[in-house]
Structure 1
Amino acid sequence: MKIFQIIVIFILAFVMLAGAFNHLYAPETYKEFIPEFFPETLAHILSAIAEAAIGIALLVPKYRKWGGLGFFLLMIAFLPIHIWDLTKDAPAIGSKVAAIIRIAVQFLFMAAGWWIYKTYRTKS
């Protein structure tokens, strides 16, 4: 179980750090996900900071519980964006099926973040 948990943690940390990098390197990737009323540059900066902080926290055992909680909360914050995308005639992710799968994965991500938080909150 421990090795599985560490693998999950490292995968999620990689996803967060890659996302943070991508918000700065290729922001056009996320253009369709940002609501028109929200300043695009600000969205990229805030997302990159949050994702980098969470990714780093997941990698440092002393801060892992906060990384798990941060990941959980970020996935909750992004959920309305993914639901909104599903309601579009042409979802940014590509298809309605892909948008539904992404929402299901979002719930798995939320569960993983909460699992990490619950596991490590008593260890630090």
Structure 2
Amino acid sequence: MKTVLLIARILLGVFITYGGINHFLNPALYAPFIPDFLPEALVNYGSGILEIILGVGLFVPGYKQWAAFGIFLLMIAFLPLHVIDVFAANPAVGSKSAAYIRLPVQFVFIAWAWWVWKDTKK
């Protein structure tokens, strides 16, 4: 079981870090998710930096517990954006089908981060 948990932590770290890097490589992908009343560049690059820090943190022994909990909280913070997207006339994710798929995926990320966090507490 330890091997499965280690692989889960590594994969989560890779996914989150890649997502953070992608905020810089493809900022237009994230722009539709950012509410109009927030500064787009600041929110996009700020969340990218945060994702990179948290993703890399999963690989640092002294920080992996905090990083896992931070990812858990971040995924919860992003959840309303995906709920709103399901009900939007023109979903930010591209299509209604994609929005319906993306919402449960967000719950998978939340559960995944929680599971990794619980393991790092031991």
Q: TM-score, normalised by structure 2?
A: 0.91
- Structure 1: which 5+ residue stretches go unaligned? none
For 1:50 and 1:98, how far apart are their aligned partners in 2? 25
For 2:3 and 2:108, how far apart are their aligned partners in 1? 19
For 1:29 and 1:99, how far apart are their aligned partners in 2? 14
For 1:92 and 1:45, how far apart are their aligned partners in 2? 18
- In the alignment, what sits opposite 2:120? 120
For 2:81 and 2:121, how far apart are their aligned partners in 1? 29
Provide Cα deviations, 1:25-80, integer angstroms capped at 9, x if missing partner. 22111111111111001112210121011111111122211111011000000001
Q: How many residues align?
A: 122
Q: TM-score, normalised by structure 1?
A: 0.90
- In the alignment, what sits opposite 2:48? 48
- Structure 2: which 5+ residue stretches go unaligned? none
SS of equivalent to 1:59: coil
| Letter paired with 2:12 | L
| Letter paired with 1:9 | R
- In the alignment, what sits opposite 1:75? 75
| Letter paired with 1:10 | I
The answer (yes or no) to whether the contact 2:5–2:119 under 8 Å persists in 1 is no
- In the alignment, what sits opposite 1:111? 111
Per the TM alignment, residue 94 of structure 1 is displaced from its structure 2 partner at its CA by 2.3
Provide Cα deviations, 1:88-120, integer angstroms capped at 9, x if missing partner. 112122222221221111111111111111111
- In the alignment, what sits opposite 2:87? 87
Q: Matches of residues 13-32 of structure 1 in structure 2 within 5 Å?
A: 13-32=13-32
For 1:79 and 1:71, how far apart are their aligned partners in 2? 12
Per the TM alignment, residue 15 of structure 1 is displaced from its structure 2 partner at its CA by 1.4
Q: Percent identity?
A: 44
SS of equivalent to 1:61: coil
The answer (yes or no) to whether the contact 1:17–1:55 under 8 Å persists in 2 is yes
